[in-house]
Chain A
């Protein structure tokens, strides 16, 4: 390093130089604020780095497809839509900063995106402050809609998972010794709690509820416990990696079950490919998949798949669809505002969202007075021969469930 002279005055030079550079860079970036009035700005905040990066990216891709489609069809009111995407780094304080940036600095007309409730919640609070509607792509917990926030809407909710699970367990499977496992995360914990409540109300007893930390390296002692208690059906609220390990270790220990239900993370092509044959006979819930779509929306579903493949060169999954649906809701609301001859203010868009009635591949989208999607409901699927077969509810089923699952010895 260059020797700096002992004169205390010149010591400031590197410091001052450095701070000038930083200051200028900052001004450069901040001064780069997009401000064309010929476009309509829509903001989006997702975890694009950190531990939720994968899912955040998938939501983002779904939103991009919706925006691209709308722009190709001429935009809204003749103006093109501009998507301003930000990363909350899976940290709430960054989510708040990004929300302030988009709402206060960039002055977007509406917000979408978001992956877990600890990130969605803070963003919703900022959106409320600026009176900008926020349609969250993947929020689940009840508490988020209990604090009065007329600017918060979401296209998913936990009830959509709990109801079909409760239904198939009480109507079809009727397990004698049911265990609910869940991950030590808010969404998974609330699912377990709500499911237990629903089952109890329908007279079904849960023998064991256990919580594990996501990323647990070994489930064998738990499996021993399950085998010792002669558990016949497991509902595991873990995520893909937990299923990967748990199912494999169930196989390794030759602990056979009548059914294994994993609401999160199973109905994905990636998971089924990684697990291969071991994924067969597993149950999951599914909001949407190419081929599994709300009756009447097949055309929209097909065109979404086609557009997605064109843009990203692979099959879309349900997470992409959540992003797509939330963005479409915003676009539809904006179009309603424009066709009524009103200006695109936050309050007008919000009002249009409350009146929204949209047929989407994932659901028939209508918001209730709290911003919850009224008709969001998963179907229960089973992996059969490497493909997803809808087995519940009966009016959407495309096949029969293989229940009980063949034992591990039979499958070898």
Chain B
């Protein structure tokens, strides 16, 4: 273990310095964004969604860091979205309560997935996750009494409101407020990811990823740690799905369980850098707004091309991801 520790300290310090600068710059820009753009709703709206996707990518990467690539995170996303939407729309609970609960449901699904995929590794695990999405999807689609089935849910309540004494803010009613809500969530998630990376837990994840058998030999129970990373990843993906439902307010099974929400976090995490803390978030915050502001008006039908090209170039030339490569040369 001490071998791991010493090697990592050096790498950690250098990378951390780079990360810190990047983080501070990003934090300042994002905190001041509403002021910079004079509360332009359009720009804020795009960045709110970019932050949401960044959260999705960060959550996905919690699993990615322990070496497992999942192609079926939409299962957690959709389950979280529906759980929170149904509880708040049909039963009137406040979103403060339903959003964390949605995460728990998604984590429960993660537990089931782990039990099924216990002995699977690598590509087989990835494919199992791909198949797994169908289970919550078909159940949601057919359980008409609870979820309205294929009709989808219309008019899901918005993000919750907060009152402290005389001051209150409804996060669902203004775009600026929603933006800060999602931003705050990003900071929490980022903090957790950073803690994970730098802790012994993170080291264990890394050990499992790099060389599982050797890790087992040193006494790291791979299955247990993978389960932990999967549970955390599923929980936060579920919470992100719930936030999505409250932001967009119209969901249907085909949308929230679709391949789009399985692929996007993977694309951002890989392009940003699977082995970095900030990478996935950076990729989301750069590529998505770029797509919406620049590529979209210029070539409306070509935007999907962008994702494909970025993915191919990254995997061929920058296997450590954009952010990861920048870190490496420092």
Q: Which interface class (under 10, 10 to 19, 20 to 34, 35 or more) fits B? A: 35 or more
Q: Which interface class (under 10, 10 to 19, 20 to 34, 35 or more) fits A? A: 35 or more
Cα(A211)–Cα(B144), bound, Å:
12
B152 touches A97 (CB 8 A): no
A48 close to chain B: CB less than 8 A: yes
**Cβ < 8 Å to A, chain B residues 23-52:** 40-43, 45-46, 49, 52
A49 touches B301 (CB 8 A): yes
* Cβ contact of B329, chosen from A11, A183, A211, cutoff 8 A: A11
**Cβ < 8 Å to B, chain A residues 4-51:** 4, 6, 8, 11-12, 14-15, 22, 25-26, 29-30, 32, 48-50
Tell me the interface secondary structure of chain A in the complex: helix
B45 touches A97 (CB 8 A): yes
Q: How far is the CB of A402 from chain B (nearest CB, A)?
A: 33
Tell me the interface secondary structure of chain B in the complex: helix
Chain B, residue nearest A192 (CB): B150
**Cβ < 8 Å to A, chain B residues 298-330:** 298, 300-301, 303-304, 317, 326, 329-330
User: Which one of A85-93, A168-176, A323-331 is at the interface?
Assistant: A85-93
User: Given A49-B301, A97-B45, A101-B42, do A185 and B293 touch, yes or no (CB 8 Å)?
Assistant: no
User: Given A104-B42, A189-B150, do A4 and B329 touch, yes or no (CB 8 Å)?
Assistant: yes
B294 touches A29 (CB 8 A): yes
Cα(A53)–Cα(B42), bound, Å:
23
A141 close to chain B: CB less than 8 A: yes
A8 touches B330 (CB 8 A): yes
Chain B, residue nearest A50 (CB): B304
Chain B, residue nearest A193 (CB): B151
B303 touches A118 (CB 8 A): no
Hey, which chain B residues are within 8 Å of A100, CB to CB? Answer: 41-42, 45, 175
Hey, which chain A residues are within 8 Å of B175, CB to CB? Answer: 100
B114 close to chain A: CB less than 8 A: no
B18 close to chain A: CB less than 8 A: yes
Hey, which chain B residues are within 8 Å of A96, CB to CB? Answer: 45, 247-248
B165 close to chain A: CB less than 8 A: no
Hey, which chain B residues are within 8 Å of A6, CB to CB? Answer: 329-330
Hey, which chain B residues are within 8 Å of A105, CB to CB? Answer: 40-42
Q: How far is the CB of B80 from chain A (nearest CB, A)?
A: 16
B224 close to chain A: CB less than 8 A: no
Q: How far is the CB of A52 from chain B (nearest CB, A)?
A: 11
Cα(A1)–Cα(B303), bound, Å:
27
Hey, which chain B residues are within 8 Å of A296, CB to CB? Answer: none
* Cβ contact of B301, chosen from A48, A118, A190, cutoff 8 A: A48
User: Given A100-B45, A104-B41, A125-B249, do A49 and B254 touch, yes or no (CB 8 Å)?
Assistant: no
A29 touches B42 (CB 8 A): no
B293 touches A30 (CB 8 A): yes
A93 touches B49 (CB 8 A): yes
B121 close to chain A: CB less than 8 A: no
Hey, which chain A residues are within 8 Å of B43, CB to CB? Answer: 30
Hey, which chain B residues are within 8 Å of A125, CB to CB? Answer: 249
Give 20 A-B contacts (CB < 8 Å), ordered by A residue: A6-B330, A8-B18, A25-B294, A26-B293, A29-B294, A86-B296, A89-B303, A92-B250, A93-B52, A93-B248, A100-B42, A105-B42, A117-B154, A117-B250, A118-B251, A144-B154, A184-B150, A184-B253, A189-B149, A190-B151
13 additional contacts, CB 8 Å, given A89-B303, A97-B42, A97-B292? A4-B329, A22-B294, A48-B301, A49-B300, A49-B301, A53-B301, A94-B292, A100-B175, A184-B150, A185-B150, A188-B150, A189-B151, A211-B142
